Structure formats: C-alpha cells, structure tokens
Structure 1
C-alpha cells in the first residue's frame, strides 16, 4: 500500500523560515541535518507518519542545490516536491517498473549526531525529472518504519494529527495515471488552477483545528 510521506519547502534563509513557520503553525520541529551537496534540512512532524521538511541550499553548489538556489534566490519560499511512501521494497520496484524507471539508493542526509541516512526512492533519472516538472510525486521506501522522521517526538504549542488535505495543480488524469487509481482515490487531493505542483498543505491538529500552509510551487525549472 502507498501513503503520503513528506513534502519539501525550499527557502533561502533556513533559520528565519523555520522560525516563521513555527510561529505560524505552533508545531514542534527539529534539525534534520545536511544532505550531500550541502542542502540543510529541518523537519516538522505532521502526524500519521507524514512530515514537512524545510530545506535551504545557501552556500551549496551543483545538482539539486543549484535548483534550490534558482528557486529561492530572491528570498521566496516554494514547494519543491512532495512524496509518497511504499510499504515494501517490492511495491517500490513495481512503481519503478510501471513508470519505466528503476529504484535508486543514494546517500541521504547526515543527522546532527553523525548518523548517515540512506534514500531509497523511485522513479529515477529523466523519469523523475519529468514527473517533477509536471508537479507529480515520487515514492520512498523505509526499511525501518520506526526511523521515519515523522516519528521523532517534538514539543510545540499545537500537536499535529495528520494531513487533512493538499491542494495541487496539474492534469488530474495525469496525476491519477502516475499515482495509480487506487492510491489516487485515497489521497486527500484538491485540484486548483496554477503552476503544476503542490500549492497548499492543511494539517489537522489534536484539538480539531486546521493549520493551512500555502506557498507556490518551484516551477518547471529542475536540476
């Protein structure tokens, strides 16, 4: 089975953006670490094994960092991508095969305590780039669910209890075909006009409220 996993918000000033997002939402958060290439990462657990990561490539060079810098160089904040999660490696392999791609396993972020994460995802290469340009998600697999970044305990003024809905823009039928009908029908997606990609994340809170986080997609420029 497939589930919503996480979404990435690209920013130019990580410290300032994390502070403002924490003030806006009241949600707890923690330092995630640094990816190869120098992209810094901060994590907001959203409940139900979903999280939001805030990322900045300030001072980094090449590859994804250049894409982040182009998107956020004017000080703006943008949704860079969003991701689903497969329960098993076999399911991830099936996704990769269906999309004419493969599973990639690459070094992930190094956490503040020195732990190096590994990223297992699909699709890869040009297929992944084309999907991102269309605002479509990719998939992750975690061999140890207990280490899901969303499960880290944090303290904030409000407690997240899961994602209520997402606003996305793009071709609905293309989304349905890419994601797969069964999963597509279960996701809380709302389609809106505009640049393809993620536009809004609404988070449920333990007290029954909703926190709405609106930004614009990074656009079709990719690395």
Structure 2
C-alpha cells in the first residue's frame, strides 16, 4: 500500500501565507528549507508524519522549478501537488521505465520518482524509515503550537483522467475524488479539533 506523505500548497509570499494560515485556520508552522534554487518552504505538521508544505518562489530566475511555481501562484495561493511514499520505489520506477532522482536537504536524503508539478503527484522515498521519522515529526507538531490541532488528510480531490491517475498512483491510503477538467490537485480535506477544513 502506498502512503500519502505530504501535500504542497503554492504561495506567493511565505510569511504572509503562514500568518494567514495561523489567523484563518489556527495552524502553526515550522521552518522548512530550500529544496531547489529559488524556492523556499515552511511546514504545517499534520498528524505525524503527514504535513502540509508551503512552497514559494523567492527567485523565479534561479531555476525552472521556481519559474513554474511563480507562474502557478501568480493569481494567488493554490494547491500545487502531492507526494506519495511508495511501498517500493524501485518496483514502481521499473514499471514505468523511469529512473529515480536523488536529492537531500536539512531533513535528510531522499529519492524522487516523477516530476514535481501540478499535473500528477510524485513519489518520494527517504533514507529514514517512516516509523523512525515519527518522533521527529511529533516534536515538530508540538513546536508548531497549533491553536486548532490538525489531524489526518480525509480525502484528495483531483482533476484529470481518473484511469490514468489511478494507474500512476496505485493503491493508496487516502480516498481520491475525481472531478474532471484539467489535471490538478483541486482540494484536500483535513480533520481538525474544530471540524474538517478544506484546502484549495
């Protein structure tokens, strides 16, 4: 079974977005990093080890990824994409004839499969097992000092071709709702101590 790892929310201004999320939803954040040149992040810890990652293009000229993110968020903050932790990254890579890419940052090393873009999710495999990451994510959850405590992701709403997306995603631990139209992550439901919040 593949597992949802995190959801990415594209934002125009990282500080303004963290302030708005605290004000509107009662969620705190912890510092993120810079996964690629020209992109900075902040993290809303959800039920460990799930998280919502805020991604902002701080220098659109620094990389193609930053330029694409800047274009995506030019009309305002919006969901960007989502990441799946597969049960076996190499098996999925072989099935699609793709080669995983290696990367790393302040939280450790990882391997990615698929483009990080709005059309479909990407797969991520860490150098630390999921169970061994729980303690660190629990600390982050406490550090965020949420006013309204978030929990798990209840569903993802997706645009695009359902059969093609299901073939790419495989079996996953979160319900998927398909709404047609352009390929995109349209919405994510998240439980909280005050009821479900829908992020779009």
TM-score by shorter chain over 0.5 = yes
Contact 1:9 1:52 in 2 (8 A): yes
Q: Which TM-score applies when normalising by structure 1?
A: 0.78
| Number of the residue aligned with 1:210 | 196
Is the partner of 1:47 in helix, strand or coil? coil
Shift of 1:169: 0.9
- CA distances 1:139-182 after superposition (whole Å, capped 9, x unpaired): 111222334675422211111220111111111111111112xx
Shift of 1:193: 3.5
RMSD over aligned Cα, in angstroms?
A: 2.2
Distance 2:137 2:6 in 1: 9
| Number of the residue aligned with 1:65 | 66
Shift of 1:106: 1.8
Gaps of 5+ in 2: none
Contact 1:36 1:107 in 2 (8 A): no
Distance 1:161 1:70 in 2: 31
Gaps of 5+ in 1: 109-114, 215-223
Distance 2:196 2:79 in 1: 19
Contact 1:169 1:197 in 2 (8 A): yes
| Number of the residue aligned with 1:195 | 182
Alignment of 1:69-218 (within 5 A): 69-74=70-75, 76-87=76-87, 91-108=88-105, 115=106, 117-123=108-114, 128=115, 132=117, 135-144=119-128, 145=130, 146-147=132-133, 150-151=137-138, 152-153=140-141, 154-180=144-170, 183-184=171-172, 186-205=173-192, 207=193, 209-214=195-200
Alignment of 1:24-43 (within 5 A): 24-43=24-43
| Number of the residue aligned with 2:47 | 47
Distance 1:101 1:8 in 2: 23
Is the partner of 1:178 in helix, strand or coil? helix
Q: Which TM-score applies when normalising by structure 2?
A: 0.86
| Number of the residue aligned with 1:217 | none
Distance 1:157 1:57 in 2: 27
Shift of 1:68: 1.1
Q: 1:158 to 1:53 in 2, by over 3 A?
A: same
